[in-house]
Structure formats: C-alpha cells, structure tokens
C-alpha cells in the first residue's frame, strides 16, 4: 500500500521566493517532500489521502533560526549552574530545547557552537528516536589560543589548554587541524570568533581578534574544502571586516558594522545574523540586575550602535537571516518568533522581508536554500499552519495557540504547541 499523502486543502500559503500570499491552494506532501502545489479546484484526491481542510488558515515554510545554543540553560547565575551540573545532563537539556523550538514552528535550527551533544542529538532526531527540528551543528567553536574570554581558575585553564576540543593551536596548521577535529566529531559547519563578546566582561574586547588573516583564510579554506560553511561571532567593525575579507560566510551579531564593511558584505554575499532577541535584555530589569555594572554599560553602548548600524546595513542591501542567540536570558528557547517582529521594529523591514529572513533567506545563509525555506515542489515537507495572516500581524507566530500544525518532512509533529505522538 502506498504511503498516505498529507493534503493541505483550501489554504493560503506564503510564497517566500516572491514575497506574497497565494490563496485557495492545495499542497500535497508525501515521502518527506512537497509533492504538488496547485489550485484547490485542480486537486485530484487519492484513496489513502489524509486531507486537512484549512479554509481561512495560512501556511508558511517551516521557520529557521540560524543561531541557537541548545545546550545552554537560561540562568542568571550561569557560572554556578555550570559548576554544579553533571556534564551528561546537558544532552537532555538540548533535546528539551530543540523540542521547544519545534513546537513553536521552527523546523530547522543551526546550533552555533555547542559542546558534546550536538551531533548525537541530530542523529537521534534524524533516525526517529525523538521528535525534533532539523539541526546543523558546530561542535566546539574554534576560538583563539590566548582567547581573551577564557578568564577561568588556573586549573581549568590548564585543562582546557590540553584539550583539542577547546584549545586551538596557533598558526595555519593549527587551525587547519582544528577544522578537521570538528569534522571528525560530526560538525556540519564551523563556528569561530573574530572579536570578543559583550556579556563576557570588560576584558573581552570588541575590536580585537586574536586570529590573524592567514589563520582565518586557512580555516575557511579547509572548511569549504569539507563542504562546511563558516560563521563568525563578531561585534567590532574591524573583526567583521576581517571575517568578510577572509571568506567567512555569516556574521553573527555584527553590532558595529560600518557602511564600508556593509558594502564589502554585499559584494561577497556575506549574511548578517543580527540576534536582536538576545539584546532585548536591556529592557528587562531582572536580567540587567544580574550583570556586572560595567557589563550593563558596555551592552547599552553597543546596542545603541547596533540599531543604527543594522538599519544602515539593511538599507544598503546587506542580506539578513534570522538568528536569536537562544538561550541567553532574554532569548529563551521556543521564543524565536519574537525576532521576526524585531526585524521590523529594529531593522526597518516589512512583514514580508522579516518572514523571508526567517525562511528562504535563512535557508540560503546556511547553504540549504535548495532544500528548505520555501513551499515549492521537491523541497522538504516543512510547513506550519497558522490561524491568521502573519503579514497583517507577525506576532500571531509568538502564540502557540495560533500555530495549528507544525509539519516536518511531510508529517505532523506538533499541534497548538503540543508534540503529536507517532
């Protein structure tokens, strides 16, 4: 007996490629793919079809978050949590967080620098042991030897320096070996750093990269040779420009990107993943009270520059893709749809452009544009169905009660915020 087809009948769907809604359509999903799309009047029903009549509802491609950390717990006292939590616990935490995203309509995630569990979690989901989104993993971000953010007790620093998973030897050979180490553990892409961070403390400099140009070019060359793209955490403009010039594919955060660097990004086709959701913490007194005063000042200064820089970059034509940095305190797992609204209010996008950043542009940024990101025949059967038009109000995507169905690989995996049994 042939597999039962899933038919979304009488639905209006978002054409992410052309940025418009297509009304009164039927979408046939089978064998993990989108098999047919057409006018509902032209649909020929087969005996085994499971037909969902979705008159008045809206279908979108499965949403994509290009920057999450599935093993990260949302906690103000993260250092204490880290020191008192068994290592193996984080694998279960990563599964829970992945399912939080799936329930919210995000069928693809890029885990932007986890530790031990990423590739194993991906395998467990792919093989059907657990429901979860499609995951691209970068196990163990490649950070610089002498990393300014590694401010730890001497015993831990000594342990990290002896572990190739955490410590990258200097030089072209060192970073080349680091990429190969990530290939062995199952990484899909490489995550690196070309500046310090905001929440990492005042000693973490936003305008300084400890990698030199030769090292970064070698890293990118080896990653691309292994069919892996490269993402770089970068806040200061000098670090962003270094990443762009050396061929890095996506810039994470990109807080202080200059007009000149934006033009270089346009020329190279480099994507910006802005993660505004993570910096919404400046509006949360509880979160801010848990940070050191100098870090609060640092964040306020950077965010003010970020908003102006990102608006200018977008107006100039830099390509944006959605990413949240979940799970920072202000970006809990499962709330990534709030980033779509921030793309509009903080960057200046229309609702169409913001939804494209969460679908087709995100897919292209992570080199999966031919497989996901739009409702097209032959692509993966990743579709979400919502109760009202997100082009009129994108906040409908933030309420799980509005997400009627989450469909991944042509199977319903969640309904109204609840995972569906097989």
pLDDT in tens, 61-85: 999 999 999 988 665 666 777 778 8
Sorting pLDDT into bands at 50, 70 and 90, what band is 284? Answer: low
pLDDT tier at 134, thresholds 50, 70, 90: very high
pLDDT at 157: 66
User: What CA–CA distance (Å, rounded) separates 405 from 422?
Assistant: 14
Q: How far, in Å, CA of 396 to CA of 357, rounded? A: 17
Go through 88-117 and write b for each residue having 16 or more CB atoms within 10 A of its CB, e for each that does not: eebbebbbebbbbbbbbbbbbbbbbbbbbb
Task: For residue range 86-108, list pLDDT tens digits in order.
Answer: 888 999 999 999 999 999 999 99
Average pLDDT over residues 132-145: 92
**What pLDDT does 106 receive?**
98
pLDDT tens column, 181-233: 999 999 999 999 999 877 666 666 788 787 999 999 999 999 999 999 999 99
Instruction: Give kind and range of the element (H or E) at residue 167.
Output: none
Whether 194 contacts 234, CB under 8 Å: yes
Q: Would the CATH topology of 6-62+373-419 be identical to that of 63-365?
A: no
What are the structural domain ranges in the chain?
A: 6-62+373-419, 63-365
Paired tokens of 150: 């590694």
Q: Give yes or no for residue 268 having a pLDDT over 60.
A: yes
Mean pLDDT of 405-418: 98
Share of the chain above pLDDT 90, in %: 74
DSSP element (H, E) containing 109:
strand 106-114
115: confidence class by pLDDT, cuts 50, 70, 90: confident
Q: How confident is the model at residue 151 (pLDDT cuts 50, 70, 90)?
A: low
User: DSSP code of 380?
Assistant: B
For the domain with range 63-365, which CATH number is right: 3.20.20.140, 3.40.50.620, 1.10.10.60, 1.10.3720.10?
3.20.20.140
Rounded to two decimals, what is the model's pTM? 0.94
Q: Which residue is it, tokens 């102006």?
A: 308
Distance of alpha carbon 141 from alpha carbon 310, whole angstroms: 25
pLDDT band per the 50, 70, 90 thresholds, residue 303: confident
Cα angle, residue 343 at apex, residues 339 and 346 outer, rounded to 5°: 110
CATH 3.40.350.10 applies to domain 6-62+373-419 = no
Indicate the average pLDDT of the chain: 91
User: What does 125-157 look like in DSSP terms, one character per residue?
Assistant: HHTTSS---EEEEEES-B--TT-TT----HHHH
At residue 219, the pLDDT reads: 98
In the prediction, which pLDDT does 421 show? Answer: 86
pLDDT digits (tens, 9 = 90+) for 233-265: 999 999 999 999 999 999 999 999 999 999 999
pLDDT at 357 (0 to 100):
98
pLDDT of residue 75: 59
3-state secondary structure of 174: helix
Phi and psi, residue 113, nearest 5°:
110, 70
CA dist., res. 328 & res. 325, Å (int): 6
Per DSSP, the residues of 181-234 read HHHHTT-SSEEEESS--STT-TTS-TT--SS-HHHHHHHHHHHHHTT--EEEEE
Distance CA 422, CA 418 (A): 13
């Amino acid at each position: 007996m042939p597999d039962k087809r899933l038919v979304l009948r009488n639905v209006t769907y978002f054409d992410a490629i052309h940025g418009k809604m297509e009304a009164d359509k039927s979408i046939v999903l089978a064998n993990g793919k989108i098999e047919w799309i057409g006018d509902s009047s032209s649909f020929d029903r087969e005996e085994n079809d499971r037909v969902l009549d979705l008159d008045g509802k809206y279908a979108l491609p499965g949403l994509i978050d290009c920057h999450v950390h599935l093993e990260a717990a949302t906690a103000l006292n993260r250092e204490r949590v880290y020191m008192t939590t068994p290592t193996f616990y984080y694998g279960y935490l990563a599964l829970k967080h992945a399912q939080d995203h799936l329930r919210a309509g995000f069928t693809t995630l890029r885990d932007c620098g986890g530790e031990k569990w990423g590739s194993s979690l991906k395998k467990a989901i792919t093989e059907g042991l657990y429901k979860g989104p499609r995951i691209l993993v970068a196990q163990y971000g490649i950070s610089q030897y002498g990393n300014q953010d590694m401010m730890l007790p001497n015993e831990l620093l000594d342990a990290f320096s002896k572990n190739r998973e955490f410590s990258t030897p200097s030089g072209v050979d060192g970073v080349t070996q680091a990429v190969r180490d990530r290939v062995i553990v199952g990484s899909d892409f490489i995550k690196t750093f070309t500046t310090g961070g905001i929440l990492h403390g005042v000693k973490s400099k936003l305008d300084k990269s400890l990698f030199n140009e030769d090292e970064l070019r070698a890293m990118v060359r080896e990653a691309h040779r292994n069919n892996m793209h490269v993402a770089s955490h970068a806040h200061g403009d000098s670090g962003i420009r270094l990443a762009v010039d050396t061929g890095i594919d996506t810039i994470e955060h990109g807080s202080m990107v200059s007009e000149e660097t934006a033009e270089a990004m346009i020329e190279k086709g480099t994507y910006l993943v802005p993660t505004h959701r993570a910096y919404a913490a400046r509006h949360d007194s509880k979160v801010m009270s848990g940070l050191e005063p100098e870090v609060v000042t640092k964040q306020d200064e950077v965010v003010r520059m970020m908003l102006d820089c990102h608006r200018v970059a977008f107006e100039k034509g830099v390509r944006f893709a959605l990413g949240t940095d979940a799970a920072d305190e202000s970006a809990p797992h499962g709330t990534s749809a709030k980033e779509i609204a921030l793309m509009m209010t903080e960057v200046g996008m229309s609702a169409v452009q913001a939804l494209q950043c969460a679908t087709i542009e995100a897919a292209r940024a992570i080199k999966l544009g031919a497989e996901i990101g739009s409702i097209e025949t032959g692509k993966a059967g990743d579709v979400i169905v919502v109760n009202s038009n997100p082009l009129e109000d994108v906040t409908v995507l933030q309420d799980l009660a509005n997400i009627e169905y989450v469909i991944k690989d042509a199977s319903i995996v969640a309904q109204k915020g609840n995972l569906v049994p097989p």
